Homo-oligomer: A and B are copies of this chain.
Amino acid sequence: MADAVPDVGLEPGSVGIVATQTLTVASPPDALEMDCGRRLGPIQVAYETYGRLNPRKDNAILILHALSGDAHAAGRYRPDEPKPGWWDLMIGPGKAFDTRRYFVICTNVLGGCKGSTGPSSENPETGKPFGLTFPILTIGDMVKVQKLVLDRLGITRLLSLSGGSMGGMQALEWILRYPESVQSAVIIASTSKLSPQSIAFNEVGRHAIISDPNWKNGDYYGGPLPATGLSIARMIGHITYLSETSMNQKFGRRLLNQAEYSFEFKREFEVESYLHHQGASFVKRFDANSYLYITKAMDYYDAAVDWGGGSLEKACARIRAKTLVLSFTSDWLFPSHQSRELVKALRQNGKDVSYLEIESTYGHDAFLLENPALTRAVGSFLDNLSEGGQVS
């Protein structure tokens, strides 16, 4: 694998210029056995790495992305790439995930549309995109694929893994499914199961996509995209990623380029313009079917049911990883009480868990934004792990 080039004149703390790579796992006859009962393979996985794997291969940290994320977690593809990777604030030399010490890996999830096999990929049996013939997948299936990738990279045990939102659900699934393979986990703005409110928001988004005449039962590739449906789904999503406070601060009731109401049906509040912009730009970079599959995987996830017969406390008995759980005060999509429920279940089992609720007005988005408390909490958690010289 090619390492990131650390210095091409990018800003200090950047991992530098990076490239997304791919590898293929689960090739038949070793196709992936999915939770739905179907088998899938070969599976292509897009991934990026930052920093260097040490000779003992014990400094690897897996980063897990959220619903609309990808493998491009840090650095830039080109010096003039407008934005760095999605968690560049957290990953780099001297940052929370310090690439001078750790070997950081991020993969695009199974079912995604950013280089990993998903519904927009070609079905090798037909030569056409899978569309809705792609099997329904779970958070567990995503994690199984990540495990195959790490096996291929020769990493048998992770120093840590971390993600926010759906990334945190994957992190939890990792330490439940592969307790011997993970030393620690940082679970941020996440939950052991979605609330019915979150399922409801996801379902309205899916319904908007499926109702778009261009969706054509998922068989829209090569034709017009179900852009309206996907943009509505994304607009709903963005409302839930912010908070009432942050929307007040960011937009208030300000009008866009006008002093008075237009008395027409047009976008005139700044918040309306923001949402439409988010919806339109998402359509350019994300596949509607991937949105359906990934939100369904989130809805299905319930760690207590999957690993504890309905009891989160019983499920957590199998965890061996030292865990840091973080939530944000204004996050109403993955509210703090969901994190506390997980922390309680871990403590009931006497597990090594730390919890911090971080003050923020930014809502669920807080895990993606600059936050000194977040950086400090993750950085010192990892520092404490490596004390004793395990990490070179």
Binding site for B on A (CB under 8 A): 35-37, 132, 135-136, 193-197, 199-201, 203-204, 206-208, 210-211, 213, 228, 232, 235-236, 239, 242, 244, 247-248, 250-253, 261, 263-265, 267, 269-272, 275-276, 292, 296, 299-300, 302, 332, 335
Contacts and interface: CB of A to CB of B under 8 A. Distances in A.
B235 A211 contact: no
A196 B269 contact: yes
A238 B274 CA distance: 23
29 contacts: A36-B263, A136-B264, A136-B265, A194-B253, A195-B244, A195-B247, A195-B248, A196-B247, A196-B248, A196-B250, A196-B251, A197-B239, A197-B244, A199-B269, A199-B272, A200-B239, A200-B247, A200-B271, A201-B239, A203-B275, A204-B232, A204-B235, A204-B275, A207-B235, A207-B276, A211-B228, A213-B213, A244-B335, A265-B292
Most buried by B among A195, A210, A300: A195
Contact of A269 (B210, B244, B269, B299): B299
A216 to B, nearest CB: 14
A264 B264 CA distance: 41
B203 A267 contact: yes
A246 to B, nearest CB: 9
Contacts of A247: 195-197, 200
Contact of A204 (B213, B239, B252, B265): B239
For this chain, the copies found in one complex come to 2
A232 B261 contact: no
A132 B265 contact: yes
A197 to B, nearest CB: 5
Given A197-B239, A232-B211, A252-B196, A203 B136 contact: no
A207 B227 CA distance: 13
A35 B263 CA distance: 9
Given A196-B248, A201-B239, 11 more contacts: A35-B263, A136-B261, A136-B264, A136-B265, A193-B253, A195-B244, A196-B250, A197-B247, A199-B269, A200-B247, A244-B335
Contact of A208 (B36, B201, B203, B208): B208
A300 B261 contact: yes
A265 B272 CA distance: 30
Contacts of A136: 261, 263-265
Contacts of A252: 196
The 5 closest A-B pairs by CB, nearest first: A36-B263, A136-B263, A196-B271, A196-B247, A211-B228
B203 A271 contact: yes
Given A197-B244, A248-B195, A271-B196, A37 B263 contact: yes
Nearest to A276: B207
Nearest to A363: B197
Contacts of A193: 253
Contacts of A199: 253, 269, 271-272
A206 B299 contact: no
A2 to B, nearest CB: 38
A239 B132 CA distance: 28
A104 B156 CA distance: 74
Contacts of A253: 193-194, 196, 199, 302
Given A196-B247, A196-B252, A247-B197, A203 B265 contact: no
A204 B271 contact: no
